[in-house]
Structure 1
Amino acid sequence: MAPDKTGGAVVTRRANGLVTTGCLTVLIALAVILGIVVSWLWYRHWHDGNVNREREEKAFASIGKQARATADDTARALGTSDTTDADALTGVIWQHSEAPVITYDASRREFTATAARSAQYDEDLMLPGGGPVKVTRCFVVTYTPRPGQAWTPRVSERDDDVCRPSTQIASRVRLALTRISSMYAEDLTRTGVQKALDPTGRRSFDVRNVAREGDKLTVSVLVSSSEAAVAQCYRFTRPAPGDDGQGSATAVPTSSCS
């Protein structure tokens, strides 16, 4: 008796139908899961972008608020100062603002301080790479005297390029502080300090004078940015112990090198 081929074909078709249905079910499930994942990723990207943008705006606003507050505090300090000496007033501005570059216009008795201000915020990211982000704004503040010893600050924001020289000068002043502090007293001559600060002859530092007054040494240096685009005089002061001694130095910008 011949085998029933019709019944076998029916079973095969049913099996194929079940396999096809099962594959479609799996594909549909995968499509649903993929859709959920894509939607979640899009939401996280949208959410993190909004959060980070809000944090960045707050950081920028905080920098501006602090810059204006510092300018007002500095103006009040200038108004209560008992001196008209340009170097002393430059020191007052430095004490309150720590601006690396402070210039003086003698014809107007006007000071201009240039400095970059920074703040940080935490960035949210799904992938590795998030964390603290630093934002910077560049400010130029002009202090103008008014009748009655009042000083008026004028704060203006500039492009980052304007503050780049002052940032370079600030970095070089920190370097000079480290080197002058580590020098032996016997090497603190004009030639010795020049060699220590500028061993390669790049002319970033021009030592103008080294003087000893009692137990202190004062070093006057013209500190320049790259290509001498901007220069600022600084007075470095440190203890002057015995010839084998060292001492921590301080630095203050001055209106002129002497």
Structure 2
Amino acid sequence: MGPDRTGGAVVTGRANRLVTTGCLTALIALITILGVLVSWLWYRHWHDGKANTERRDRAFASIREQARAAADETARALGTSGATDTDALIGVIWRHTEAPVITYEASRREFTATAATSARYDHDVVVPGGGPVEVTRCFAVTYAHHPGRAWTSRVSERDDDVCRPGAEIGGLVRLAQTRISSMYAQDLTRAGVQKALNPTGRRSFEVKSVAREGDSTTVSVVVSSPGAAVDQCYRFTRPALDDDGQDSATAVPTSSCS
């Protein structure tokens, strides 16, 4: 008798069905797992997006609140300072706001300080790359004083482009402070300071005057943002007690350079 081919075919068929059933079961399980994963990723994306939006909105609200509080505090300081000179009043605004650009409109008797304020919030993402995110808002704060009235402040939110030149000027002022602080006392002349501030000929600084009075040297400089879109006069004061070039210079914006 020959081999029982019918029995072998039955066994083979059963084996094939088991393999097919096993593959189908594995495929269904894989599809189920992928479905759960996609649903989880979608939920995380939705949840994180919602949380990030709420945190960002709170950060913006905090920035606006800080700007209004700083404006009110500065207006009170102007009222109690007793100062009447334009540059002295600008100095009060500078000490409370550190705005890199402060202008004075004589016809309106208004000072305007332009500066950006920032805040951080935690940004969540599913994949690596999340963490603290900084958001910034640009403000122009106008301070006015009319006879018989208290100082008032008005906060206006502006486009980021309005504050960008001021931010550049702020960086240049810090650079000028460093260079003036490192100069030897005998080099603190108009030509000497001009050379120190513009070693490559780049005209971001224009030294207007250098004056030594007592134990300090005052340098008046026009600081310009790249492209000269905005400029601001600054008065740098360097103690002149020593000749080692290590005395720190201070800087404050002024209404004009002389």
Q: Say if 1:61 and 1:88 are closer, same or farther in 2 by CA, change over 3 A.
A: same
For the pair 1:238 / 2:238, whether they are aligned, the reply is yes
For 1:119, the equivalent position in structure 2 comes to: 119
Where do 4+ consecutive residues of structure 1 move more than 4 Å?
none
For 1:63, the equivalent position in structure 2 comes to: 63
For the pair 1:53 / 2:53, whether they are aligned, the reply is yes
SS in 1 for 2:200: coil
1:43 positional shift: 1.1
Matched to 2:45, the amino acid is H
For 2:250, the equivalent position in structure 1 comes to: 250
For the pair 1:26 / 2:35, whether they are aligned, the reply is no
For 1:74, the equivalent position in structure 2 comes to: 74
For 1:35, the equivalent position in structure 2 comes to: 35
For 1:86, the equivalent position in structure 2 comes to: 86
Query: Contact 1:80–1:149 at 8 Å: present in 2 too?
Result: no
1:81 positional shift: 2.2
For 1:95, the equivalent position in structure 2 comes to: 95
Q: Percent identity?
A: 76
Find the aligned partners of 1:35 and 1:46 in 2 and give their Cα distance. Answer: 16
Matched to 2:89, the amino acid is L
1:246 positional shift: 2.0
Find the aligned partners of 2:148 and 2:77 in 1 and give their Cα distance. Answer: 14
1:149 positional shift: 4.8
Matched to 1:220, the amino acid is S
Written as runs of structure 1 = structure 2, the 5 A alignment for 1:161-172 is 161-172=161-172
For 1:150, the equivalent position in structure 2 comes to: 150
TM-score normalised to the size of structure 2?
0.97
Q: What RMSD in Å do the two structures reach over aligned CA positions?
A: 1.1
SS in 2 for 1:135: strand
Find the aligned partners of 1:242 and 1:25 in 2 and give their Cα distance. Answer: 86
* 1:194-225 alpha-carbon deviations (Å, 9 max, x no partner): 11111122211011111111111111111011
* 1:200-257 alpha-carbon deviations (Å, 9 max, x no partner): 2221101111111111111111101111111101111121133334211111101111
For the pair 1:10 / 2:4, whether they are aligned, the reply is no
Query: Contact 2:235–2:252 at 8 Å: present in 1 too?
Result: yes
Find the aligned partners of 1:245 and 1:149 in 2 and give their Cα distance. Answer: 47
Stretch of structure 1 that moved more, 239-248 or 24-33: 239-248
Find the aligned partners of 1:6 and 1:205 in 2 and give their Cα distance. Answer: 100
Find the aligned partners of 2:252 and 2:165 in 1 and give their Cα distance. Answer: 17
TM-score normalised to the size of structure 1?
0.97
Unmatched tracts of structure 1, length 5 or more:
none
Stretch of structure 1 that moved more, 160-169 or 179-188: 179-188
Matched to 1:113, the amino acid is A
For 1:44, the equivalent position in structure 2 comes to: 44
Q: How many residues align?
A: 258
Find the aligned partners of 2:155 and 2:83 in 1 and give their Cα distance. Answer: 24
Unmatched tracts of structure 2, length 5 or more:
none
* 1:135-175 alpha-carbon deviations (Å, 9 max, x no partner): 01010111111332511111110111111111110111111
